[in-house]
Every structure is written in C-alpha cells, then in structure tokens.
Chains A and B, each alone.
Chain A
Amino acid sequence: MSKLYKNRSIIMVAVAAIIIIVIIAVTSVDRERVSAPESLVGSIIKPATGAVTAIVNSIRNSVTGIAEYRSLKDANRTLNEQIISLRAQAREMEALRQENQRLREMLDFKDTHSEFDLIGCSVVGKSPDNTSSIFIINKGADNGIMRSMPVVTNNGLVGQVIDAGSNWAKVLPLNDQRSSVSVMVNRTRDTGILKGDINFVLTGSVSPEAAVVEGDDVVTSGMGGIYPKGLFVGKITGIRTGDSQLLKTIRVEPAVDFDKVEEVFVLKHIEGLPFGGEIVE
C-alpha cells in the first residue's frame, strides 16, 4: 500500500512535468493570440496590478514632490524663463515646419509613419523574473493590439508586443536578452544588428569600415519586418573593434529608460497591408 502511494505521487509529478514541457514547447513558438485560459488569468491579474501600480506611483510622486519643494521653486523660475525663449523658438519652428510641409508635398514625399495608428497604453506590471525585462500593458487584442507590433514612447523605440490577451499584452523591451533589432547609424547610413543582453545593455555590430563615432544617433533600419524605418533607438556610447576585425562592436545608450517607462504607444498598421510578415487585421 505504501509502495503504491509512493509510486502514485512520483507518477503525478512525472505526468505533470510532461504536460508542462508540452506547454513550454507549444508556447515557445510564435502565436497569433494567447489561449483562453491565459487570457483569463491575465484579465484577473491585470486590473489589480494596474491599481497597485497607480497607487505606488501616486505615493512616489507625492513623496518626491514634498522633498523637492525648494528646488522646484528654483526650477519653476528657470523654466518660466525657458518658456519665453522656447515660445519664440516654437514660432520659428512652426514657420519652418510649414515650409517643410510644403516642400515635402512638392517633392511628393511620403510621410514615413503615416501608415500607423498610435494606441496609448499604461505599463501595469513588470516581470518578477530578475533576468527578464518583460512588462505588461493595459490594452490588448480588444484594442487591436497584436503580436509583433512595435512599442514606442515619445523618446524613442521601446520594443515589441510578444503576446496579446484580450485587454492586456506582454511587451519585450529592446534591452532584454531575447530581443534584437536591425538598426542604422543615422549619420553614416551604416546598418547593423543591436541586441539586448543579460545586463540589459544594448550592444551590436556594424561593418568594420563604418566611420561611426561616439554620440552618433542610431535608428531602426526597417529591415526584419517588425519595426518601421527611422524610429530613434539611442546614441552610440562606445565603439570597439574586435580581434577578428570582421565586425565593429558598438554600445548604445537607449533613448528610453526601460526601468522607468510608464506610458507607451503601440504602433498599429492601419492600411491592412502585410507588415512584419503577417496580415494585420
């Protein structure tokens, strides 16, 4: 009897392990949408996580607000002065923008991002796993968000959606070790690949002939099908030529602080054209 009991629990563990390994295998391939049970669990966790994040953010903001009262007063004066000069600049910019617009139309330039809708989302939780920087956002398939859609902030590119539930989605940031993006150095037009790593640093490689210098802007190249061309990624902060001389390694300081990102936009392709290797509904 006791032998049977012992065997029974070992069999239970073995069967459960096999089932889980099958689930791992099934979910490791790219899917259009998450399954119904996954969507349900996400829908339960998300509102609570969102509420706690909102409370924590408001507490943090009020605490830092009180602590910074005096410096804020100084900052306020400086900012007021800046506003005056910036207003003048803005007027000038507006005139230039209109001129630019006219010139663009004359040259029949296509506005490179006009084929996208921006969906505003809030970050509601970050992966508890220390080696992952995946976070979840508060909108999903119900809002038209699907896998492989690029995620940006006003500062630059954040990453891409890797799974979408009904009203939540997982975002894989660029600095995660599973992430890679095809990029171009804006000044020299040299292309390369940028990868995240275990330390959440963006490193990549370009051709050894590339005349890149520190401080050069890096943007997406549009190759690879997921990210559209010309999204700002960051600035080069380090260049190293490898021993093999076959590739030049660059280190990029991302434009977005992935740890502190609170609001993001998901880029939704609106023309119904194949994009990123799949049809977007």
Chain B
Amino acid sequence: MSAWIIALILVFNIILQSTVFQYIAVLGIRPDSAIAIVVALSTFLGKEYGMIIGVAAGMMQDIVFSRPVGITALSYMLIGYLVGSNSDKIFKENLVVPLAFSAGATLLKYFIGIFFDYVLGIPISLLIYIQQYLLIELVYNCAISIVIYKALYWVYGRKLLKDGLRIKRKR
C-alpha cells in the first residue's frame, strides 16, 4: 500500500516538474523536487528503501527526458542510500536535516552529471555549471526540500516512521 502511494507521489512529481515548474523558475532554474522527495523518504525509511525510491524516481525522469538513460537514476540511488545510511544518527524532527541532506544531494547530483558529461565527451564549462546552475539550484532545492519534508512528515512521515520501526523490529 505504501509502495503504491510512493509511486503515485513520484509520478505526480515528475508531471509537475515537467509542466508547471517552468512558471516558478528563479533565474531560469527550476527546483529539483525529486531530490527533496528522495531525501525525505530516505530519512524516514532508511537506506534500502531510499535507494529503491531513488532508482525509481531517477529512472522515470531519465527514460522520459534524457539520453543516455540512467545517470539521474544513479545519482538518486546514491542519494537515497547515503541519506538512508545516516538517517539513524539524526533527529528527524529537526529541519536542518532536509536542508543539509538536500544541499549534499544537489552537490552529488551535479558531480555525477559533470563526471558523465566528461566521460561521454560532452564539452562543459565547470565555472558556468557552478555559477549559473549549481549554486542557484542548491539554494532553491534546500528551500523546497523544507516544504516537502514538512509536508511528507506531517501527512505521511509519522506513520512511515512507525512502519519503518516495525519493519526493523521484525528483522
């Protein structure tokens, strides 16, 4: 049941991202709400769910909008895994959590993107990437991640946390 809801959230998110988000762009940059969702759910559910949700969100975006397919999936998977691995060590009620994780996640996404651009021989300018894309998106992602984290926490997170604990206890 929760898997279906998560899938619905991810599909709904990518539709919003590819349609209405162009109207909330700041300096031409749209926020990556998928990162915020992966960060929030990985914090609540741990690393294994985190990586699966990351792969699902990234693959969906890659298949519909990118070529080659898989680079976003790889970044989101690592984000889900790394955030989930550290989720036991922090207070999930504290809003510094999504802020810090989203900042790190955005950096990781750009690092992997630039790495694959380099490997695939696409000419890139590191300075422009950082100045015009990374920094703005970083700030925007952090801002939107607080909203999404809070929303998912209140609507869903408390229940998820209980479910998550139950799953862990069963093990």
Q: Which residues of A line the B interface, CB within 8 A?
A: 5, 9, 12-13, 16-17, 20-21, 23-28, 34, 37-38, 41-42, 44-46, 48-49, 52-53, 56, 60, 125-132, 134, 136, 162-163, 168, 170, 172, 177-178, 198-199, 259
Contact = CB atoms under 8 A, between A and B. Distances in A.
B34 interface: yes
A56 B67 contact: no
A199 B128 contact: yes
A38 B132 CA distance: 31
B73 A20 contact: yes
A49 B60 contact: no
A13 B55 CA distance: 10
Interface in B12-47: 14-23, 28-30, 32, 34, 47
B116 A177 contact: no
Contacts of A44: 11
B16 A52 contact: yes
B53 to A, nearest CB: 12
Interface of B: 11, 14-23, 28-30, 32, 34, 47-48, 51, 55, 59-61, 63-74, 77-78, 81, 113, 116, 120, 122-125, 128-129, 132-133, 137, 171
Given A13-B51, A52-B19, A131 B65 contact: no
B65 A178 contact: no
A28 B19 contact: no
A248 B97 CA distance: 51
Contacts of A136: 18, 64-65
Given A24-B116, A28-B68, A9 B47 contact: yes
A23 to B, nearest CB: 4
Contact of B18 (A24, A60, A125, A131): A125
B67 A27 contact: yes
A48 B10 CA distance: 13
B69 A24 contact: yes
